[in-house]
Amino acid sequence: MNDVAKIEAPLLSVDGLVRHFDVSAPFLNRLIERLDRAYVKAVDGISFDIGRGETFSLVGESGCGKSTVARLIVGLYQPTAGSIQYEGVEIGPREAAADRKRIQPHMQMIFQDPFASLNPRWRVADIIAEPINVRGLLKGRAEIMTRVGDLLSQVGLSPADRERFPHEFSGGQRQRISIARALAGEPEFLVCDEPTSALDVSVQAQILNLMKELQNRLGLTYLFISHDLAVVYHVSTRVGVMYLGRLVEWAETKTLFENPRHPYTRMLLDAIPDLEMSGRQRIPVAGEVPSPINPPSGCAFHPRCPHAEARCRTEMPLPRNYDGVHVACHAVADGRIG
């Protein structure tokens, strides 16, 4: 399906993944006020592969469903439909619970908020030792503590930090502890949900560098979720752009940023503030993201799209492969835009 897949089987493969959330009013209200059940289509049929050792990024505005994808993959949510395969093993549906349990230790997750992702009552040593204990990787307190110390040094902290509590650390240091905890389970696949968006820029650089270094050293594969295009450009091998629960375009990072095809990708790139001070004016985009409870018909982007025509309002565009660039857009398919 994509270039990496041709060379070797993908590590993770997602196909037609759907997750709807029930946001209906309570039963009595529905009965008396004659309301229908309402669903948020947070993820509405997306497919992609992630090759071993690469960093695949999902980027999009708030509410586009990128975090939901992350949580579906690590099993925090059950998919409504579709499949998630890890090394060819199906782990998506509820029936695959046994396989999920077997595969689960291979993946770990890094969260956005370094102030909420560590249990405030636990010492750092216990936090990092938890995956080791759960997986039974090591026996004996002394051995585990040595390993915790190693992990702390790996992420740039001191083994002496074991005895401290999370509140004694700054945001960046806590994110390092989070990473150490994720690594403790010896995973091959890390899902990073906005790992730097709560951090200051100078600290963000430290964390991004650390993540890259760990990837090189340990051969990790990342699924990276972010709203920040510059960060995504910096870390990813391939990028997927999401809009209202769907992938509208995905391609190699360089290709996507140099030659964006989908009108939404172009819009996002145009909206980035210009640090070069080249005098380029940001193109203010018209309109806002519609509600995912009641998304527009046809192509969800059509109300904001400068290239929309009648067909876009009625028919949902399916992603098509243009030399490794996947785009879901009628205008691109018709050759109306590059």
Partner 1 sequence: MPKPSNQALLSVRNLRIEFPNRRGILVAVDDISFDIAPGEILGVVGESGAGKSLTGAAIIGLLEPPGRIARGEIILEGERIDHLPYEELRKIRGRRIGAIFQDPLTSLNPLYSVGRQLIETIQTHLPLNEREARVRALELLEEVGIPGAEERIDHYPHQFSGGMRQRVVIALALCAEPRLIIADEPTTALDVSIQAQIISLLKGLCHEHGTAVMLVTHDMGVIAEAADRVAVMYSGRIAEIGPVQEVVRTAKHPYTHGLMGSIPHIGHHVDQLTQIEGSMPRLQEIPTGCPFNPRCIQVMDRCLVERPDLQGVDQSEVACHLFDEAGLAAGAGE
Partner 2 sequence: MWSIRDCALINPLGADMAEQTAESLPLTESPTRTQSTFYRIWDSDVCYSFRSSKVTIVAAVVTAVIFFLAIFAPWVAPHRPFDVATIDLMDAELPPSWEQEGDSRFLIGTDNLGRDLLSTILYGTRISLIVGFLSVIFGLVVGVTLGLMSGYMGGYVDAFIMRVAEIQLSIPGILVALLLAGTLRGVISAEAYNEAIIYVLVLTIGTSIWPQFARTVRGSTLVERNKEYVLAARVIGLSRFSIMLRHVLPNVMGPVLVIATINLAIAILTEATLSFLGVGVPPTQPSLGTLINEGQNYLFSGLWWITIFPGAVLAILVLAVNLLGDWLRDALNPKLR
Binding site for partner 2 (CB under 8 A): 71, 74-76, 101, 104-105, 107-109, 111-113, 115-121, 130-131, 134-135, 161, 164, 166-171, 178, 181, 185
DSSP letter at 319 equals P
> With binding defined as CB under 8 A, does residue 227 bind partner 1?
yes
> Residue with structure tokens 């229908």?
36
Decide whether 32 or 201 has the Cβ nearer to partner 1.
201
Q: Considering only residues 29, 119, 158, 170, which one is a binding residue for partner 1 as defined by CB under 8 A? A: 170
* The one segment of 47-55, 115-123, 157-165, 208-216 that binds partner 1 by CB under 8 A: 208-216
> Residue with structure tokens 């819009």?
267
* The one segment of 109-117, 195-203, 307-315, 317-325 that binds partner 1 by CB under 8 A: 195-203
Q: Considering only residues 120, 284, 335, 338, which one is a binding residue for partner 1 as defined by CB under 8 A? A: 284
Residue 168 CB, nearest approach to partner 1 (Å): 10
Nearest to 80 by CA among 69, 64, 66, 67: 69
Return the number of other C-beta atoms located less than 10 Å from residue 151's C-beta. 23
Dihedral of the alpha carbons of 91, 253, 66, 219, in degrees to the nearest 10 = 40
Decide whether 93 or 171 has the Cβ nearer to partner 1.
171
For residue 30, the Cα-to-chain-centroid distance in whole angstroms is 34
Residues 9-48 that bind partner 1 (CB under 8 A): none
Residue 178 CB, nearest approach to partner 2 (Å): 8
Decide whether 60 or 131 has the Cβ nearer to partner 1.
60
2 CB-near residues (< 8 Å, 6+ apart): 49, 238, 321, 324, 326
**What whole-number distance in Å separates Cα of residue 306 and Cα of residue 179?**
42
Partners of residue 20 on adjacent β-strands: 41
Strand (E) positions, 142-300? Answer: 189-193, 221-226, 238-243, 246-252
**What whole-number distance in Å separates Cα of residue 219 and Cα of residue 215?**
5
Which of partner 2, partner 1, none sits in contact with 154, Cβ below 5 to 8 A by type? none
> With binding defined as CB under 8 A, does residue 177 bind partner 1?
no
> With binding defined as CB under 8 A, does residue 269 bind partner 1?
yes
> Residue with structure tokens 């172009």?
266
* Residues lying near partner 1 in the complex (CB under 8 A): 61-62, 170-173, 200-206, 208-209, 212, 227, 229-231, 233-234, 254, 257, 267-277, 281-285, 288-289
